Amino acid sequence: MVIDNIQSNTIELQLPAWRPGRYELQHFAKNIQRFEVFSFQEVVQFHKITKDRWLIYTTDLEEVTVKFIYFANIQNAGSSFIDESVMYVNFVNCMPYLQGRMDEPCELEMVLPKEYKIACGMPTGNHIFHPKNYCELVDSPLLASPYLQHQSYQVENIDFHVWFLGNYTPNWTKLLAEFQRFTEKQIHVMGSFPEKDYHFINWILPTSFYHGVEHRNSTMIVLGPDSEGDGLYNDILGVSSHELYHAWNICKIRPVEMMPYDFTKENYFPTGFVAEGVTTYYGDLFLVQSGVFTSEQYLKELETILKRHFEQDGLAFQSLVESSFDLWLDGYSQAIPHRRVSIYQKGAIVSLILDLMIRLRFGHQKSLETVMQILWERFGKMGIGYSLIDYQRVCEEVYGRSLSSYFKDCIHGNTPLESMINELLDAFGLQMQWNKEGKIHLEILDGENENLKLWLNL
């Protein structure tokens, strides 16, 4: 790492302690094996001032070179990995930033064999990249291998790229057609797309895996096993639709507490249920509304979400706001019994409740889509962070009356939601039922129900 134009006696380098998309401290500095600083071959003095921050002494120096080795051996969507045929780099793991100069452009060179192909949201020429600032660099993971497969499609003159690495060759004609359908649906609903292009980067492993991470104009998805067939293909569709919606929801429609990201510590925010719950709800719903999933496939996915919440977390003490805040404490590990709810599963369920409430009140002329459209126009497009109060105000604006009871019971409280859900589902010809073992089944009482057809675009 070459740092030029130094104009001070000391400079400070900071390696992120966490990465966007996973709201927990991950302490990437623990993977740095060696760290050295030079100026024209002369050793430059430095010392650590925190676990992941270095103070470098630069008196009379205009340029220094920082050299370090990063141990990259973890295969998942948010880490970094290298072997004899793959280089996967999440730059947020291993590239420090210079304090006070994060907004400056930089140049990145990847030294790779000529036969390697590169999947990355940043454009490249001869393996050289020019991110406009540090945030663009660390929001652009890179997968390189001679075995990458690639196809693309267009929606509204925007190029969408699909990449695959692994022992898996999709039915490209079917996949591109179905990707195009859910992409068109999402853009139609939101009104415009935030980026000039987009990359779905898929790494298919021989072992069981399910992980996706959203980025500015790309998503990194790691799935397996590669022998799963139709199940794997449906997972590819589900994760891809979910991650694409994140291009709006969290990448642009971002909580005010994260404007901007502070990579040195926790960025507590109470609206994780919006960032992940709404996205989980719409990731599947867009697939049925675009005709990629059948109604039976969609309702099976909805049943799975209901089962995961009510059979596992239904008795949990925390509210969605509390569990959003506590993502930074234990949000991605096994919790003690009856403490925490999932911002993904319960977040999707309360999104379902609000969507059906708005649809029934306005005869499907308005929906939760309307709320997200307003958030995109007022906050996402403008680069303004939204607060929990902002979200409630927009929801009430769309609904046309107070939603204090909904926010009290569903968002701020831990009131059981079974009766509320079933009262709404009944108007859509559906019902959530329990068997003698306490297992949930979503029953279709009236497949010809008009509300059901309008909701699912049947």
Identify the pLDDT of residue 257.
98
Q: Where are the domains of the chain?
A: 1-71, 73-228, 256-456
- H helix intervals, 110-171: 134-138
Identify the pLDDT of residue 229.
84
Q: Considering the chain, what percentage of its residues have pLDDT values greater than 90? A: 96
Look at residue 437 and tell me whether its pLDDT is greater than 90: no
Residue 24's pLDDT band (cuts 50, 70, 90)? very high
Identify the pLDDT of residue 228.
84
How high is the mean pLDDT of the chain?
Answer: 97
Could you report the per-residue pLDDT of 309-336, keeping only the tens digit for each? 999 988 899 999 999 999 999 999 988 9
Identify the pLDDT of residue 180.
98
Rounded to 5, what percent of the chain is helix, strand, coil?
35, 25, 40
DSSP notation for 277-291: IIHHHHHHHHHHHTT
Identify the pLDDT of residue 87.
97
Mean pLDDT of 266-290: 98
Look at residue 388 and tell me whether its pLDDT is greater than 90: yes
What amino acid occupies position 351? S
What amino acid occupies position 197? D
- Give the CB-side neighbour count of residue 260, counting CA atoms within 13 A: 8
Residue 273's pLDDT band (cuts 50, 70, 90)? very high
Look at residue 436 and tell me whether its pLDDT is greater than 90: no
The pair of three-digit structure tokens given for residue 334, joined into one six-digit string: 């096994």
Identify the pLDDT of residue 7.
96
Q: Which residues of 270-298 are buried (b: 16+ CB within 10 A; e: fewer)?
A: bbbbbbbbbbbbbbbbbbbbbebbebebb
Identify the pLDDT of residue 389.
98
- Per the listing, tokens 């992980």 go with 211
Q: Is the dihedral of CA 256, 258, 259, 265 positive or negative?
A: positive
Mean pLDDT of 263-282: 98
Burial of 358 (0-12, 13-18, 19+ CB in 10 A): buried
Look at residue 297 and tell me whether its pLDDT is greater than 90: yes
Identify the pLDDT of residue 227.
87
Look at residue 417 and tell me whether its pLDDT is greater than 90: yes
- ω into 123 cis (within 30 of 0): no
- ω into 260 cis (within 30 of 0): yes
Look at residue 212 and tell me whether its pLDDT is greater than 90: yes
Identify the pLDDT of residue 203.
98
Identify the pLDDT of residue 138.
97
Spacing of C-alpha 435 from chain mean position? 35
> Comparing C-alpha atoms, which of 246, 183, 290 is closest to residue 380?
246
Identify the pLDDT of residue 314.
86
> Comparing C-alpha atoms, which of 234, 194, 232, 233 is closest to residue 216?
194
> Comparing C-alpha atoms, which of 171, 151, 168, 149 is closest to residue 159?
151
How many C-beta neighbours within 10 Å does residue 172 have?
12
d(CA 412, CA 39): 55
d(CA 304, CA 342): 13
Q: Please, what is the end-to-end C-alpha distance for the chain in angstroms? A: 55
Q: Is the dihedral of CA 187, 193, 196, 198 positive or negative?
A: negative
- How many residues are recorded in the chain? 458
d(CA 331, CA 266): 13
d(CA 284, CA 69): 41
What three-state secondary structure class fits 130?
Answer: coil
Identify the pLDDT of residue 125.
85
Pairing of strands 218-224, 209-214: antiparallel
Q: Considering the chain, what percentage of its residues have pLDDT values greater than 70? A: 100
Domain 256-456 superfamily per CATH: Neutral Protease Domain 2 (1.10.390.10)
Could you report the per-residue pLDDT of 183-197, keeping only the tens digit for each? 999 999 999 999 999
- Give the CB-side neighbour count of residue 21, counting CA atoms within 13 A: 27
Query: Across the chain, how many H-helices and E-strands are there?
Result: 15, 21
Mean pLDDT of 147-152: 98
Residue 134's pLDDT band (cuts 50, 70, 90)? very high
CATH topology of domain 1-71: Immunoglobulin-like (2.60.40)
Rg (CA), the chain: 23
